[in-house]
Amino acid sequence: MPPRHDRQSRRTVEAVLGAALTAQRGGGLAGWARHYPRVLHWLRERWLAPVHDSVGDIWPADQRDALALQVLLRWALAQLRPDRLPGLEGIDETAWTLRTSWRPLLAVACQFGFLPVPAFPERYRRRAEESVVDNLCGLWSVGPSTFYRYLDKGKRLLADQLAEGPATGQRLLSLREAAQVRLLAGPVPEGGWPGWHRAEADAALARGAIGAGLWHCLHAGDATAFTRLLQRHAFAAANAGDTDALIDSLQALALTPRQQFDLALARAALWRNRRADERELEALNLALRLAHGLDDPLLIGMAFGALGKFHESRDADRAFACYEDSVAQLRRSGPESGATAAAEYASSLVRLAWLHVRRNDPRARTLLDRVQQLRSEAALPDEVLGELEQTWGEYWRRAGESRRALEHKHRALNLYEQCGDKRSVLATYLNLSLLYSEERDFPRAIDYANRVLSAAQSGQVETEALVCAHGNLGVAYFWLDDYGKAIDEYRRVLEHAESAGLRQHLGTAHYNLAEAHYKRFQQSGEPADERAGDEHAATAARIGVRDNTPGLAASSQGLKREILGHSGSIDRLVPEEFAAHFAEMAEIQRLRSTLAVPLPPVEQARTHLALSRAYLAIAGKERENAKALIDRHDLGDAFAADFDALRRTFERELTREQRLAQQWQAACPELLAAAQRQAVLAHLLAQGSINKSGYAEAAAVSLATASKHLGLLADSGLLQQTGKGPSTRYLLGDTTGGKTANRT
């Protein structure tokens, strides 16, 4: 037996449907709609919104609801067609006269004025002014009681259609198409239908009707606007009922390769908001293949940038590689790429800076300053400016300047709200929550975290956002000394992170749980809290070792001692390099900052050589200090072997490039000219590895030629392959010249 609320809903649908059909039969549907405003409001929320979104303001205001109701009823009737074709047109003679499966639909459609009964004189000669009931009874050779059984069945089936709730997928798309049919029956608007649809797409977007906006772009024949809208408003589109059906309709059109590329990136954004990782990666790899097929540096750079975003929360090293490839490709794009290339280039630099910030690396400042310079040279879109402000905010937070951080975060929030980027709005809520906790403004911190959790209840929110929201709540409750609530929130972090495979959050969650349990043990003396703290601290330390995050490992190992005071403090050694070699270390720091921005191979190699000279100067000073000490104490004979070893090291490293060049010339004499060979080796010695695009740029060859060369060099043992797909790199191989196995 169905639940009570389902029975009530069904009775409501039947009552509203019966009244609307009766009004339609008498030609008073508009008056009926005005007479029952509460019923009309219910219908608008449940069914009429897609019709109104599809027709805009083209119908007179006093007839809009009645016309929309007629569209809805005709559409619902068409859903009863046994042949599943759209609309009520094109029903053949056999369906009218012989097919009993059609009779419930035809009884309702004719009885309530949606269809006239055609004349079939060879089967039945009707009288003048004969009623619909008599006409169909004669046509079907049935009595009135049988006709009314068909009629009642048709009304039940019609009620079934409307009781299912608001249409989604193909059903919603077919409802919009029913409205389109009614539109095309009216006068053509000034400027034609494509221009009208473009204007309606903008209007739909302004009121947040993303599905309607996509539908109007599709009917305007504007695939570029469709994909741009889908990518920019992916969060809302992920929850729109007919997005996938609209995409299927778009793919049925003859799209250019560039439009296919844009659609692949847009679909990746859609899958990201639906937390479908495999589908997202599949779409991104498709975009990369399409970009390589076009051999367009701009598109390749865009694809690598999108792949970098995908890998940020999964594999930071791979994300670095993708962003560096993105920057390298975008630098190759010509001036015809214009504002798009500038925006993508700035975005990749900002994302690189974000990764540096996440590692507490001050080189992020150099990247951000570079984007600030780009901002003064070109108009960057709000999305990129929002990312820039967001990253500046995190930089200043980690630099200990929380007020400046808050200013940048609120600027980012304003920019994201202006461009309707709800996903980034939620991310900014999370950052503001953390910042306000650090400022000890806990009510605001809790409020911003709860905004994310509220959004999760009303729509889909990424798992990582949920993890961060619960984590921020845990931090706020921890500082409020409410360790029970903090532990509850941290456990939710652990649960979501483990289920979604977000490894980068696991160590922090265990550390926070250990800290909260130790603090609660300090309050209550409950042994279970001490044991739980020990378990979580040990797990956090293991994760720190596994993930090569020594700070987490060291902090976790010393956490119990720090909170419970089980032993004395630990001295920490402070490096004295700046005091001993100030000039050289200052130069090294400057050169490291320069390397934060990906440079052309020649400039990068030159910078690494300058770093080498600075370190050699330090080594020379230390050698002279040792020699002076040895001479002063007459220790020369005891250190003769050490000086010989030091000399051999210097000579070996200083001639490595020359020896490699000779080996490459001997193994592959026809492969590269001397200048090309020198440029490739300089890149390898400076970077430690090379990829296909880096080889192509250094050797001044095409990507196809670069791929061929790298395969030959790997087969000869001069290079070793590591990684797969976009993260494939080639390292210097065995210098003996023998073949080596590829590493993956």
How confident is the model over 690-707, as pLDDT tens digits?
888 888 888 888 888 888
SS3 (DSSP) at 572: coil
Average pLDDT score over residue span 113-128: 88
Instruction: For residue 725, give its domain range.
Output: 656-732
* Same domain? 143 vs 114: yes
Please provide residue 493's backbone torsions phi and psi, each rounded to the nearest 5 degrees: -60, -50
418 falls within a domain: no
What CATH number does the domain containing 725 carry?
1.10.10.10
285, part of any domain: yes
The residue out of 295, 316, 337 marking a domain boundary is 295
Instruction: Read off the pLDDT band of 630 (50, 70, 90).
Output: confident
Q: Which residue from 601, 608, 560 is spatially nearest to 699, judged by alpha carbons?
A: 601
Do 710 and 632 share a structural domain?
no
Which residue is listed with tokens 């000579």? 651
What band does 740 get if pLDDT is binned at 50, 70 and 90?
very low
Contact partners, residue 438, CB within 8 Å, separation at least 6: 397, 402
Report CA torsion sign: 690, 309, 360, 517.
Answer: negative
pLDDT attached to residue 348: 92
Res. 738 pLDDT band, cuts 50 70 90? very low
- Closest by Cα among 400, 391, 383 to 366: 391
More confident residue, 647 or 237: 237
Q: Does residue 577 lie within any of the structural domains?
A: no
In the prediction, which pLDDT does 578 show? 52
pTM: predicted TM-score of the whole model, two decimal places:
0.64
Residue 481 tokens read as 């000394």
Question: Are residue 196 and residue 166 in the same domain, yes or no?
Answer: no
CB distance 717 to 740 below 8 Å = yes
Give the pLDDT of residue 582.
59
Mean of pLDDT values over 580-602? 70
Residue 254's Cβ-count burial label (10 Å; 0-12, 13-18, 19+) is exposed
DSSP 47: I
The mean pLDDT of 52-72, rounded to a whole number, is: 85
Report the C-alpha gap between 625 and 421 in whole angstroms. 60
**Residue 222 within a domain:** yes
Residue 422 backbone dihedrals phi, psi, to 5 degrees: -65, -35
**Is 71 in the same domain as 128?**
yes
| Residue-wise DSSP of 480-542 | TT-HHHHHHHHHHHHHHHHHHT-HHHHHHHHHHHHHHHHHHHHHH--HHHHHHHHHHHHHHHH
At residue 667's C-alpha, the angle toward residues 665 and 672, to 5°, is 45
Pull the structure tokens for residue 632.
Answer: 């002063």
Is residue 617 located within the same domain as residue 689? no
Residue 57 is assigned to a structural domain of this protein:
yes
Of 239, 270, 295, which residue is a domain's last?
Answer: 295
Q: What is the identity of the amino acid at 712?
A: L
Give the total number of structural domains in the chain. Answer: 4
- Predicted pLDDT at 275: 77
Are 639 and 708 part of one and the same domain?
Answer: no
Tell me if 152 is assigned to some domain. Answer: yes
In this predicted structure, the answer to whether residue 378 has a pLDDT above a threshold of 60 is yes
The Cα 347–Cα 535 span in angstroms is 41
Tell me whether residue 55 is in a domain: yes
Find the mean pLDDT for residues 274-279: 86
CA separation for the pair 514, 506 (Å, rounded): 12
Dihedral (C-alpha) 130, 132, 133, 137: value to the nearest 10 degrees? 80
- Distances in Å between the Cα of 689 and the Cα atoms of 50, 107, 711, 728 are 55, 76, 15, 10
DSSP bridge partners of 690: 730
33 versus 376: which is more confidently predicted?
A: 376
Q: Are residues 159 and 246 in the same domain?
A: no
Instruction: Annotate 719-736 with b (16+ C-beta within 10 A) or e (fewer).
Output: bbbebeebbbbbbbbeee
SS3 call for 690:
strand
Least confident stretch, 5-19, 118-132, 521-535 = 5-19
Is the confidence at residue 744, as pLDDT, over 50? no
Same structural domain for residues 614 and 680? no
Residue 666 sits in the same domain as residue 693:
yes
Q: Is 413 contained in some domain? A: no
- 8 lies in the same domain as 125: yes
Provide the 3-class DSSP secondary structure of residue 74.
helix
90 in the same domain as 159: yes
What mean pLDDT comes out for the span 661-665? 78
* Crossing angle of the two packed helices 550-564 and 503-524, in degrees rounded to 10: 10
Degrees, nearest 5: CA angle 89-94-95: 50
pLDDT score recorded for residue 149: 94
**Nearest CA to 300 among 702, 693, 722, 707?**
693
Most confident of 204-213, 224-233, 293-302: 293-302
Q: What pLDDT, in 10s, does the model give residues 451-485? A: 999 988 876 677 888 899 999 999 999 999 999 99
Token pair for 538:
């040990």
- Domain end, chosen from 130, 149, 173, is at 173
Q: Are residues 660 and 713 in the same domain?
A: yes
| Cα 690 to Cα 680: distance, rounded to the nearest angstrom | 8
